[in-house]
Amino acid sequence: MQLKVTTWNINSVRLRLAQVERALAEIRPDVLCLQETKCPNEHFPLSALQAFGYPHVTQVGMKGYNGVAILSRHPFAQVEPRAWCERDDARHLSVTLGPESGPAAGIQIHNFYVPAGGDVADPAVNPKFKHKLQFLDEMRAWGGTRERRPAILVGDLNVAPLEHDVWSHKQLLDVVSHTPVETERLETLRREGGWVDAARHLTPEPQKIYTWWSYRSPDWAAANKGRRLDHVWVSDDLGGTLQSVDVHGSARGWTRPSDHVPVTVTLEL
DNA sequence: ATGGTCGATCTTCGA
């Protein structure tokens, strides 16, 4: 069987319900992981999302910021929210697919929204950047102790780790998301955690890959000053099942778009 | 040299 998992920073799930519906119709993933739902739990549009054909939904939200959700065609055997940096700020959820899921049963799916880190790349003067580095350090420690079982890690990791994950490596070396302290941390925690960067496994450098284009560029498509901030990783043992990774760049051109586009990983199990 | 644009929100913050 195929297992398709899509990740998308939606930047307000309530504002972009129609875009979610369109993406689900076009991509038809088995699982959709959303970040930046920006929606308090009591206002989460649960029944509307379920009506798109995804009866199994788990989410954590808060007022105004952050928030992650997982929508699935397959039932969950287990749902595990986790607090990071001792904050209850809705940046991670994981699920384990249930025994009804055929060959996908038992696969764990992690949905992360790593802090963006503010504007100044100095933890001494910018508490947001300090938080981001702490979050990445905690992910590294977690990965080192993680039970080695089939797993998929997706999300807006807010780091573009490689030279060709940004439009200009030299011009972005001091820009938050591409500084060496971030990119080295992310690559280290990925390797130590036993994760394969699925997008780069299938599309090696120097091919450019972008998943985010700033709202602040009026002609974002022509300028094409993008970054690869959204990632799909699979555990080593699933590496042989990797079939494709698709970046749905056209979604950036939709009416009232998110600044991020969906990224889909397909496994043949 | 510092803006540019979004989204949620109580007029500013986070991205």
Which contacts of A85-92 are long-range, i.e. CB under 8 A and separated by 24 or more positions?
Answer: A85/A131, A85/A134, A85/A135, A85/A138, A89/A62, A89/A65, A90/A60, A90/A61, A90/A62, A90/A66, A91/A66, A91/A115, A91/A135, A92/A68
For every one of its 269 residues, what pLDDT tens digit does chain A have, with 9 covering 90 and above? 999 999 999 999 999 999 999 999 999 999 999 999 999 999 999 999 999 999 999 999 999 999 999 999 999 999 998 999 999 999 999 999 999 999 999 999 999 999 999 999 999 999 999 999 999 999 999 998 888 899 999 999 999 999 999 999 999 999 999 999 999 999 999 999 999 999 999 999 999 999 999 999 989 999 999 999 999 999 999 999 999 999 999 999 999 999 999 999 999 99
- Indicate the helix (H) or strand (E) that contains A254: none
Nucleotides of B under 7 A from a protein CB: 4-9, 14-15
How far, in Å, is the CA of A215 from the C1' of nucleotide B4? 8
Residue nearest to nucleotide B9 (CA to C1'): A64
pLDDT of residue A99: 97
Q: Note the CA–C1' distance, A215 to B6, in angstroms.
A: 6
- All domains of chain A, ordered by start, with CATH? 2-268 (3.60.10.10)
Q: Which nt has its C1' nearest the CA of A63?
A: B8
Q: What is the pLDDT of residue A171?
A: 97
Which nucleotide in the DNA or RNA is closest to residue A66, CA to C1'? B14
CA distance A263 to A7: 5
- For the CA of A213 and the C1' of B1, the distance in angstroms is 23
Residue nearest to nucleotide B3 (CA to C1'): A216
Q: How far is the CA of A211 from the C1' of B4 (A)?
A: 20
Nearest nucleic acid nucleotide to A256, CA to C1' distance: B6
Residue A11 CA, nucleotide B4 C1', distance (Å): 19
The token pair that represents A122 in the structure block: 């100095």
pLDDT tens digits for range A179-222: 999 999 999 999 999 999 999 999 999 999 999 999 999 899 99
Q: pTM of the full predicted structure?
A: 0.98
Residues, CB < 7 Å to strand B: A 11-12, 14-15, 38, 40, 63-66, 115-118, 128, 158, 215-216, 218, 256
What's residue A269's pLDDT?
97
By the 10 Å C-beta count (0-12 exposed, 13-18 middle, 19+ buried), A195 is classed as buried
- pLDDT at position A218 is 84
Which residues lie below 8 Å from residue A140, measured CB to CB, with a gap of 6+? A185, A188, A189, A192, A193
